[in-house]
Amino acid sequence: MSSQTKPQLGRLIITPFATIGVLAAVLVWEVEHVGSILFAAAITAGGVAIGIMVARHLRRDIDSLTDYYAGLLRIADEQSRRAEEANRLKDEFLATLSHELRTPLNSVLGWARLLASGKLDGERSAHAVQAIERAGWAQSRLIEDLLDVSRIVAGRMALATRPTIVRPLVEAAIESLRPAAEAKRITVDACLDATPDPIAADPDRLQQVAWNLVSNAIKFTPSGGGVTVRLETTADEVRLVVSDTGVGLAPDVAAHLFERFRQGDGSSTREHGGLGLGLGIVRHVVELHGGTVTAASGGPHLGSTFDVRLPLRRWDLPVVEPTLAAPAAPSLRGVTVLVVDDDTRAREFVRATLERYGASVATAATAKEAKARFKREPPDVFVSELVVPDEDGLRLIRDIRRIDRAAGRVTPAAAFTALARAEDRRSALNAGYQMHVTKPVDPSELVSTVERLAHPPGSHDLN
């Protein structure tokens, strides 16, 4: 900007003075050396003509400079409005995030205190436990959505492509949401093509797409309404269509529907919860698969339709699904486990879960305590959080591996942590952990993880 405006400003200032100076010098020279009235008149006429030309150029330069600065003011004003809009969206999102985190947390704390009071009968206690579990998983899904958005922004969301049959994924998503639909007396009709041939896709991400779309339809459909899910396969694409009889979409809302953090109603009087992340994640996942997603509506209160189209990339290799015997109930009888976590509640949860299946569990709150226990009583399995007060879990596992090498052994280890990014997993595995398990975790998954570490496939349990 300055390189363009400085010459213009200099020309505006210098040109008139330079012109006047030159004309004055010429006239003085003529008077002193020539003394001709006609010549002086000619010089004067030429000066007037030059002055008129200079004045016109100056006027154009002034107009150009005025337009330039007016443009700068318009750009600054637009950027200011955008910054204000971004700031408003940020404040709105943070307020919504606080609400969405506090709501299930209130349920967890409230029911937990009622349980602790001992004043609930058996039926109400079971209801309290179910409410706490639902609230916990609601928070878990919210955190996973935030992590997905973080991966999208950083360009690190990748697909784990493998042979995928789409219909079971859509069916599983519908069935998991059917209780929510029944609670609102919403009918969910499914018309799903068999699609027997597998396609090349990421099944977990496709199920996430189906779940988000069906969940969104149920959320925005009033009691007594209906949701229809169609899965169709043509010669060159797979098409998933989710339509509802819900609140519909206004044109201004539809224009921003798939933007992250955008909601149709972000006010404190909004009827529907959520962070406005789900549809943004849907669009990114669909586009990673090379597909498209669109939304259409007849207008407010006329329902909406979401249409996902994925290119049909068939998986050429045969899919072998061996028939396996039903797995035996997990058992940790005789297995010793050392658990490292600075959070007392987390340590007690892991201890109670593993001891229920027969494990002998020791715990440590710091890396120093963990290394002392490990040297004194080496466990069969080592489980540690990656965030430890006196030393991070990556350095801790490296120290554990040095102790192992000195003793001529390798202790199976799992990172059990709230650090859930892909780079956290890579760092943990590269540092020396065999497995990376993210919090929150289902107790059965935790037990299965420890069992696999203690008795890897191919080993023989002699207990």
Fold of the domain spanning 336-454: Rossmann fold (3.40.50)
Query: What are the E-state strand segments in 223-380?
Result: 226-233, 237-244, 292-297, 304-311, 336-340, 360-364
Measure Cα distances from 50 to 20, 30, 43, 148, 362 in Å. 10, 18, 10, 69, 98
Quickly state the pLDDT bin for 301 (edges 50, 70, 90). Answer: confident
By mean pLDDT, which of 119-128, 238-247, 358-367, 373-382 is the weakest? Answer: 119-128
Mean pLDDT of 167-195: 87
Quickly state the pLDDT bin for 36 (edges 50, 70, 90). Answer: low
Contact (Cβ atoms closer than 8 angstroms) between residue 438 and residue 420: yes
Q: What's the N-to-C CA distance of the chain in angstroms?
A: 79
Contacts of 307 (CB under 8 A, 6+ apart): 239, 240, 241, 293, 294, 295, 296
Measure Cα distances from 61 to 9, 18, 368 in Å. 9, 16, 75
Quickly state the pLDDT bin for 335 (edges 50, 70, 90). Answer: very high
- Count of residues making up the chain: 463
Does pLDDT of 180 surpass 70?
yes
Helix axes 122-154, 278-288, angle to 10 degrees: 50
Q: Which residue pairs from 347-354 have beta carbons closer than 8 angstroms and sit at least 24 positions apart in sequence?
A: 350/383, 350/416, 350/446, 353/443, 353/446, 353/447, 354/446, 354/447, 354/450
Widest CA span of the chain, in angstroms?
Answer: 128
pLDDT in tens, 162-175: 888 888 999 988 99
Which amino acid, residue 151? Answer: R
Does pLDDT of 54 surpass 80?
no
pLDDT in tens, 430-456: 999 999 988 878 888 899 999 999 987
Does pLDDT of 248 surpass 60?
yes
Does pLDDT of 399 surpass 90?
yes
- Name residue 233's beta-bridge partners: 238
pTM of the predicted protein model:
0.56
**CA torsion through residues 134, 137, 141, 146, sign:** positive
Mean pLDDT of 395-421: 91
Q: Does domain 162-311 have CATH number 3.30.565.10?
A: yes
Sequence ranges of the domains in the chain: 2-85, 162-311, 336-454
Measure Cα distances from 109 to 127, 349, 450 in Å. 14, 17, 29
Give the angle subtended at the CA of 35 by the CAs of 30 and 38, to the nearest 5°.
85
